[in-house]
Amino acid sequence: MVNSQWSMVQKLWTIDFGLLTPPLPHFPLHYIYLHGFASSRNSAKARDIGSRFAQIHTKLKIPDLNLGDFSHLTITRQLKQVAAEFPPNATPVTLIGSSLGGLTAAHLGQQYLQVQRIVLLAPAFGFLSHWLPKLGDEKLQRWQQEKYLEVYHYGEKRCLTTSRSASTLPLHYDFVTDAAQYQEQYLQRPIPTLILHGKEDEVIPIQASRDFACLRPWVELIELDSNHALGNVTSEIWQAIRLYSTPSI
């Protein structure tokens, strides 16, 4: 279901919560935020959402998906890492994922019944089909041959002290071969899903989320006047998270 009118969500927010921001439910819930590709747990979006959860005294886990080894990052590794963060009992898990973290969250929701709700921020559906062509055939072939490619890393740009460019880290080609197996067509579990995507997204075109939502009636898509970073709509994102992450009781 596609909803390009944010006012509808704002109306629901007012009806359900009024103008205040009460804490999320006190019954057991487990919230995890997954940052994007070549980002970190200290990204602007992660800090903003983490701060808002802290203000309402609700715990939000934000694992570092780089694991100190971005060079050998794969989606499979991310899936295993995040699943290990799930509580050992049957406590429901809500995942909030940004970009590649959103794609990872979607596949976790497919694989684990414990995941009962997901919020996806500009999810990286069709990630390889959007990213690899931008590299060009020559660079892609060189990556296959040499095994490593220098990738701009937003999360590490301020702390690298090596001789390489102060904003890049090497990434092994295994990332590509691994990611190729995680196709959207396999995401068929009817789990409540909210997608927030910028209409001016220059990294993952909003059409990717439109196509995903139109085939899945359990998915709601909200289109925002923003780009991939969604930096100008943080308040709207938080309101949507607050509304959608609260199960009906």
Tracing tokens 């068929």 back to the chain, one arrives at 188
- Grade residue 13 by pLDDT with cuts at 50, 70 and 90: very low
Q: In which region does residue 146 sit, left (phi positive, over 0), alpha (psi from -120 to 50) or beta (all else)?
A: alpha
Q: Can you give the pLDDT at residue 155? A: 80
Q: Can you give the pLDDT at residue 24? A: 47
Mean pLDDT estimate for the chain:
87
Q: Domain spans of the chain?
A: 2-244
Report the predicted TM-score, pTM, of the whole model to 2 decimal places. 0.87
Q: Is the pLDDT of residue 23 over 80?
A: no
* Residue 242 φ then ψ, to 5°: -60, -45
Q: What is the pLDDT of residues 194-203, one digit of tens each?
A: 999 999 999 9
* Residue 188 φ then ψ, to 5°: -125, 0
Q: What is the pLDDT of residues 141-193, one digit of tens each?
A: 999 999 999 999 988 654 333 444 458 899 999 999 999 999 999 999 999 99
Q: What is the pLDDT of residues 122-144, one digit of tens each?
A: 999 999 999 999 999 999 999 99
Tell me which of 18 and 97 has the higher pLDDT: 97
Q: Can you give the pLDDT at residue 22? A: 45
Whether residue 103 contacts residue 124, with contact meaning beta carbons closer than 8 Å, is answered with yes
Q: Can you give the pLDDT at residue 245? A: 78
Closest by CA to 37, choosing from 98, 125, 79, 120, is 98
Q: Can you give the pLDDT at residue 163? A: 43
Q: Can you give the pLDDT at residue 20? A: 38
User: Architecture of domain 2-244 in CATH?
Assistant: 3-Layer(aba) Sandwich (3.40)
Q: What percent of the chain has pLDDT over 70?
A: 83
Closest by CA to 102, choosing from 43, 176, 36, is 36
- Grade residue 38 by pLDDT with cuts at 50, 70 and 90: very high
Q: What is the pLDDT of residues 43-55, one digit of tens each?
A: 999 999 999 999 9
Q: Outline where DSSP puts E strands in 76-192.
A: 93-98, 115-121, 148-152, 168-172
Q: Can you give the pLDDT at residue 43? A: 93
What whole-number distance in Å separates Cα of residue 86 and Cα of residue 244? 20
